[in-house]
Each structure stands twice: as C-alpha cells, then as structure tokens.
Amino acid sequence: MVVTGAGLEGVVAAESEICFIDGEAGILSYRGFDIHTLAEHSTFEEVIYLLWHGRLPNRTELNELKGKLVGNRSLPQPVIEFLRSVPRSPPMDVLRTAVSMLSLHDPLAQDNSAEANARKAGKLMAQTAAIVTTFDRLRTGKEIIPGDPSLSFAANFLYTLTGKRPDDLMERTFDIALTLHADHELNASTFAGRVIAATLSDIYSAVTGAIGALKGPLHGAANEQVIRMLLKADGNVQKAVGMVHDMLERKIKVPGFGHRVYRTEDPRATHLRRFSEEIGRRTGHLDLYLASSEVEKTIKSEKRLNPNVDFYSASTYYSLGIPVDLFTPIFAVSRMAGWTAHILEQYQNNRLIRPRADYTGEPVGRRWIPIEER
C-alpha cells in the first residue's frame, strides 16, 4: 500500500485534461489557457464551453450554448414550491436539496449516456443559477423574474436576483468573478463529485455531493466568513486590523488566507483585489476594500500568508449588492462549470475511486463479551 500524508496532500488521484495549477509559480490555467488570458478576453459562457469541450466555441456554438442556458432556466414547479416553503433556511442547504430534487423531474436523470450527461450538464448550469435567484426573490417576498435572453449569463444572474440590469462594470466584474471561480482542479468539492461519479452514479448525485462539500468553511464558505469579519469591523481599517491581531493572538484562523496548493499569490486574488477596489468605489463600499487591503498587509507580514480566491471576492460580491448568505451559493453557480466538466471527464475513462485506510484501532480478534458482563 502507498502510505501518504493526511488529506491526500500532494497525492495524484486522477489524470485530467481540464485544469493545471502550479502552486509555486502561481499559475492557474483552464484547458491550457492561462487564467489571466481568460480574465482579459473571455466571457463566462466561453469558459463553460472551454471547460466542457477543451476548445473555444465559434459564434454558432456559443450562440447554441447561450440558447441552452436560457432555455433551461425555468425550474420544475415542485422545485419552486419547495423554494417557497423554506424562506428562512440556510441557502446552501436549500441549494443542495433543490439540485437533488431536480433529478426527480428530469426524464434523462437515469440515462448515463454521454449525450444525456452533456444535456444534463447544460441544465444544471442554468438551473443552479435559477435556484439561487428564485430562492432569494421568494424569501424576500418579491416576484420571480424570468430571465432575459438578450443578457449574458452574468448579467442575467444579477438581473434576476436584484431586478436591476447591471451596468457594464458590474456585469464585467461579475462575469470575470464567475470565470475565476469556474474550476480549480481537484479541490475538495470537485473531488467529492468525481468520487461519486466514479461509482457510475448519476450527475445529479455527483453535483449534489459537491455542493455539500463546497458548503464547508474550509472550502466555499470562507468568502462568507470574510465579509462577516469585514462588516463586524464596520469596514473600519483600524478596527479590522485590530480584530485580525486579536484572532492571530487567539490562534483563530483568519478566513480568506492561505491555500493548500499555492505557495505564492493566488492568481485569482490578483483580479479580485482590483475588482474590490473598482466596484467598491463605484457602489460606495471602498471602505471594505481599504480594510481588506490593510488586513492583507497584516496577515502577510505576521503569518506570511497570501489572500486566496475568497478574500477579495467577499468585498467584490458585497459591493455588487449580493446578499451575504448567497456568496457561497454563487460560488456553486460558477463552480458548477468545473464540477460538470470533471464529472463528464470521469465518466469518459472511469475507474472506481476507492482508497484504503491505515487502521489504527483496537487489535483485531477482540473477544465477545456478553452484555451482562460489560
């Protein structure tokens, strides 16, 4: 048996053509395209296509994909009724349940052919977004807004969430944020999805498990923890730095810093830092950026840790007017692109993922003790 460190750190669990990370050099690329290239040129729809197909779409292919994302947006009525019935529940629990429920209303749910799975991936991209926006509209007593086919995925999301069409800066910021969160190799949620898919279970089972993993504070929930910290400091620089010093003294992990893979700056943070400033200035939340910036300096000098994807996405999403408890669900909306790409790849060349445990328990062969003698 191959004995490794805890948490499978540095252990190769699968071959993949999707995502490359060099944690020492701070390189992240999807299908060979550097994340900086994609952030500069690509739309999220192009990234979805790229992750699924390994190449950029031509105009016809892109329009077809956009049509699918719009066409699949409407939710089965029982899912809407479910969302209506749980207005005070934690959004990640609601999302996990609603996505699981989608399979009950999909005639292709049990069809594990490549064609059916590609179609289901398309539905999941559209419907996960619709679940998040529909849930928020319902819980705030507002009308559900049908998507606008003329809008991009990013603009449509913000529009159906807030009821307002975003301006160009807001749309472009959110679009790039979706791209930056779209995939990250065998992160815990994607890996959970691949473990589930590798039993040849269906794609709904796999992404439902992935959503459950993303919910954890050591994974997707960190962005929500970051903004709660910044808001607790009222976006005040001195207060924020003081809070962080206090956390360091009490050996509490400061959310949004450090990463299992990166030993240098997370290339996604580079972009999100800029957005946090730009969009913060635009919407009157520059204080959150300034506080974030000082917190970053403090953690860098005292702990030598770099901000990860969650740190500046927190203030960026807040400045975009997104409710705090939707930050992690929105992470799920973007990562759905990567989850589905990895699950489709897993099916293509499948092997059951079944490691072993190092047994550290009682010696085997314990004698039975009758209950009276226990």
* Positions 110 through 129 that interact with its own copies (CB under 8 A): 110
Q: Which stretch binds its own copies (CB under 8 A): 162-170, 288-296, 305-313, 365-373?
A: 365-373
254 is a contact residue toward its own copies (CB under 8 A) = no
53 is catalytic: no
Range 256-295, binding its own copies (CB under 8 A): 260-261
Question: Active site residue: 259, 271, 285, 342, which one?
Answer: 259
Alpha-carbon distances, residue 52 vs 17, 236, 271 (angstroms): 10, 43, 24
Residue 213 interacts with its own copies (CB under 8 A): yes or no? yes
42, 72, 179, 316: which one binds its own copies (CB under 8 A): 42
Asked if 41 is part of the footprint of its own copies (rule: CB under 8 A), the reply reads yes
Is 326 a binding residue for its own copies by CB under 8 A? The answer is no
368 binds its own copies (CB under 8 A): yes
Among 96, 120, 181, 268, binds its own copies (CB under 8 A): 96
- Which of residues 176, 192, 230, 299 is near its own copies by CB under 8 A? 192
Q: Binding its own copies by CB under 8 A: which of 83, 124, 198, 227?
A: 198
Buried b (16+ CB within 10 A) or exposed e, 335-355: bbbbbbbbbbbbbeeeeeeee
- Minimum CB separation of residue 163 from its own copies in Å reads 26
Q: Which two three-digit tokens encode residue 1?
A: 């048996």
Closer CB to its own copies, 49 or 159, in the complex: 49
Nearest to 312 by CA among 289, 281, 328: 289
β pairing state of 33-34 and 19-22: unpaired
CB 272 within 8 A of CB 175: no
Q: Is 310 a catalytic residue?
A: yes
Burial of 216 (0-12, 13-18, 19+ CB in 10 A): middle
* Nearer to its own copies (CB atom), residue 114 or residue 281: 114
Which lies closer to its own copies via its Cβ, residue 145 or residue 353?
Answer: 353
Q: Which of 269, 230, 260, 268 is nearest to 247 (CA)?
A: 230
- Minimal distance, residue 350 CB to its own copies, in Å: 8
Q: Which is nearer to its own copies, 12 or 143 (CB)?
A: 12
Q: What are phi and psi of 184, to 5 degrees?
A: -160, 55
User: How do beta strands 27-30 and 33-34 pair?
Assistant: antiparallel
CA angle 286, 291, 297 (to 5 degrees): 130
- Residues taking part in catalysis: 259, 310
